[in-house]
Amino acid sequence: MSQAYLCGPALPRAMRIPAIVLNFKTYSEALGKKGWDLATRFASVADDTGASIVLCPPTGDLAHVAKLVHIPVSPPEALLEAGAAGTLINHSERKVAWEEMAKSIPRCQELGLEVVACADDISEAETLAKLSPEYIAIEPPELIGGEVSVTTAKPEVISRAVDRIHAVNPKVVVLCGAGVRTRKDVARALELGTSGVLLATGVVKAKDPEGALRNLIKGLPSGAPRPARSR
């Protein structure tokens, strides 16, 4: 199964890098009206800072969120109709069979939807690169939702994943996640060769979600984000 994502309100339909990708999952803090409010606030942060912020709301809220914040935001055709810019697939909590990914990734791309494919480890990331998704997010599952960032606990996993992915397909943009919570985590992720981060808990479940997002943005380099890659 996949989850759609939306790009920042004043930004092009495609994701720009470096980026902060926020996965709402099905956390109670991000469902229904609470999620709509979060999306509006996060969109304002993107407008205010110019940072590349990507939202991944629950599929049930996708169409409403897309209309609410006026941004480009299951079968791929339904995601496109709802206003999606892309899809997040194969998260460790919602693994997808290889055969399904081999069919769904090119289908999404035919429809103009970008694909962020998640990988639990370096081997899976290297294999996913053969399918040529626009993005691969490396996320060791044992660190997801934890207090220690992958950038601290397993920095070598990130740097090795970047090398192995690019050896297979240099066009794939690499992201990382698991335990990312601070601007230092974001800055370190970029130092290790990624083009952004994917996270949920560190922002969505924070006492001050907007403040947490603004803190993360401080870890991004100055200057406007750039297009990730041409199709």
Active site amino acids: 91, 139
**3-class SS string, the chain:** CEEEEEECCCCCCCCEECEEEEECCCCHHHCHHHHHHHHHHHHHHHHHHCCEEEEECCHHHHHHHHHHCCCCCCCHHHHHHHCCCEEEECCCCCCCCHHHHHHHHHHHHHCCCEEEEEECCHHHHHHHHCCCCCEEEECCHHHCCCCCCHHHHCHHHHHHHHHHHHHHCCCCEEEEECCCCCHHHHHHHHHCCCCEEEECHHHHCCCCHHHHHHHHHCCCCCCCCEECCCC
As a whole number of angstroms, the distance between CA 73 and CA 59 comes to 11
The DSSP code for 202 is H
Cβ–Cβ < 8 Å for 41, 125: no
